Structure 1
Amino acid sequence: MLLRYLGTDQQVRYWCEDESRLGLKTITGRTITLKRVKPLAIVGWQRKNFYLYGLVEPATGDSFFWEFSHLDSTCFQDFLDLFSKAHPEVLNLVQMDNGSFHKSLDLEWPDNVIPIFQPPNSPELNPIERLWEHIKYELSWEHCTTLDQLRRKLKQVLDSISSEAIAEICGWDYITSALLSATS
């Protein structure tokens, strides 16, 4: 598939894709307290949730996020189509895990999106995983009673993260070095 693009002047961008579930169950985490003092907080136990599909470009910090109700090939197809339309003039190489819905025979890959599957059981190879950790850290101890309230808080968190911050979180040296070597 890549062979047809060799020798063309089409811009190529390298993205990392993943999905994360967010819901009303309070995300707990470490917090600073006095010695032997346990933190007090309201914790929600509702199981309502949604999935945030995301793409980041480690070299620039550009990102693309979309919310879906499920984690399946239908939603993933919609996500690919939305992303493809957002970056129509570019060849997008997209690193992702081996989720079954990523390899569904029902998927129709847009012409400008080429998947790169990372080895099985290796989420640590995907830089966007660190961004999910950052987002969930920012949402930790937030008690949301409705999904709309959670969406508003998530939007605030996403809006507060600059492209530079995303590049710092996701721009691992081995990736940026490889991209610089490939373009020089």
Structure 2
Amino acid sequence: MAAAVRLRSDFDGAALRRLARASRDAKQVRRLLALAAIYDGGTRSEAARVGGVTLQIVRDWVVRFNADGPAGLVDRKPPGLRPLLSADQRRALAKIVEAGPIPPAHGVVRWRLIDLAQWVWDEFALSISKQTLSRELRALGYRKLSARPRHHAQDADAIPAFKKNFPAKLAAIRTRLPRGTAIELWWQDEARVGQKNGITRRWARRGTRPSAPHDQRTASAYIYGAICPAEGKGAALVLPRCNTEGMTLHLAEISAAVSPGAHAVLLLDQAGWHGSRDLVVPDNITLLPLPPRSPELNPVENVWQFMRDNWLSNRVFASYADILDHCCRAWNTLVDQPCRIMSLGLRRWAHRS
């Protein structure tokens, strides 16, 4: 029988017990206490009983402890199989995902896992399963997300230019106000809610196709909504149509919600009724138009999406009055959640100005 391997001499039983008390790894604690028993003069059999293992495993612990100290008693994560894709291949995969497919060349307008698997085969002669490819994409930080609509005629430079010049525009507005006037940033938009309502995603068993009620009638109303994300507040009206008169009423509603002594800078799109000469703008509001065809700059778009997904979709409205009731209830529920307005509406590029 092989002789027992001696423990290294720079530790003792008391030191190992102190390490065991400080450790949060249960397996390391058990091994430290077993070796502490040997340091205290116990036999290897006694150490095996403390650790609940065989003599051979105690010997293995001693060898690991002698080589690496207490860290050697922590189980290391096994290396696993060698990755199928190299680092260069992962970078190429990320690049092609970012660029998107070229329809004439790839035959598709969006990447599916099976299409990317074919691309990997064409590029690297590697056969990869959809499951493995999915894990690779997730490890690279990719998820399958809904695309945000972008107007086909949008000026590619308009949004970056607006964000860059926004602090200067805000400073110019400040110069026209009395010294010390606080500025509140507000955002405004309108949303149509009608009987021909939307259907959202819902949880259902895999392989099934869930159903939801869908009306074909056409009664509708418009929510004029505005939020001040920094303050977590909002102001809205529900009206039968979008026009200058309705916008004038909404501006009066926003004006009443602005803090006393403060001035609101209201960012909004360039709809005709937003810039009409007949529009009555209160003294405590300055209108700041957003670039044309740039709805992604307006966080109220996110508010509409949230309200539809959670409170307004998958419904059948019995009448116009029913639409009004649901729109008012949804907006009131939103303004009762200031943190929700902040979460949906705060934009770093605007609120750091």
Same topology, TM > 0.5? yes
Where does structure 1 differ by over 4 angstroms across 4 or more consecutive aligned residues? none
TM-score w.r.t. the length of structure 1 is 0.87
2:343: which partner in 1? Answer: 168
Are the counterparts in 2 of residues 12 and 91 from structure 1 also a CA contact under 8 Å? yes
* Deviations, residues 99-126 of structure 1 (Å, cap 9, x unaligned): 1111111113221110111100000000
1:154: which partner in 2? Answer: 327
Q: Spell out the pairing of 1:42-61 with structure 2 (5 A cutoff).
A: 42-61=213-232
1:4: which partner in 2? Answer: 176
Deviates more, 1:108-117 or 1:157-166: 157-166
Paired residue type of 1:15: W
TM-superposed CA distance for 1:89, in Å, is 3.1
TM-superposed CA distance for 1:79, in Å, is 1.3
CA distance in 1, matches of 2:265, 2:332: 25
Query: Which structure has the greater CA radius of gyration?
Result: 2
Q: Secondary structure at the match of 1:74?
A: helix
Are the counterparts in 1 of residues 220 and 323 from structure 2 also a CA contact under 8 Å? no
Structure 1 unpaired stretches of 5+: 179-184
Per residue, is there more strand in 1 or in 2? 1
Per residue, is there more helix in 1 or in 2? 2
Q: Spell out the pairing of 1:123-138 with structure 2 (5 A cutoff).
A: 123-138=295-310
Structure with the bigger RCO (C-alpha within 8 Å, sep 6+) is 1
1:66: which partner in 2? Answer: 237
Paired residue type of 2:307: I
Aligned pair 1:177/2:345, yes or no?
A: no
CA distance in 1, matches of 2:333, 2:250: 23
CA shift in 2, pair 1:160/1:125, >3 Å: same
TM-superposed CA distance for 1:58, in Å, is 1.8
Identity %: 23
TM-score w.r.t. the length of structure 2 is 0.47
Aligned residues between the structures? 177
RMSD: 1.8
Are the counterparts in 2 of residues 58 and 176 from structure 1 also a CA contact under 8 Å? no
Are the counterparts in 2 of residues 84 and 112 from structure 1 also a CA contact under 8 Å? yes
TM-superposed CA distance for 1:34, in Å, is 2.0
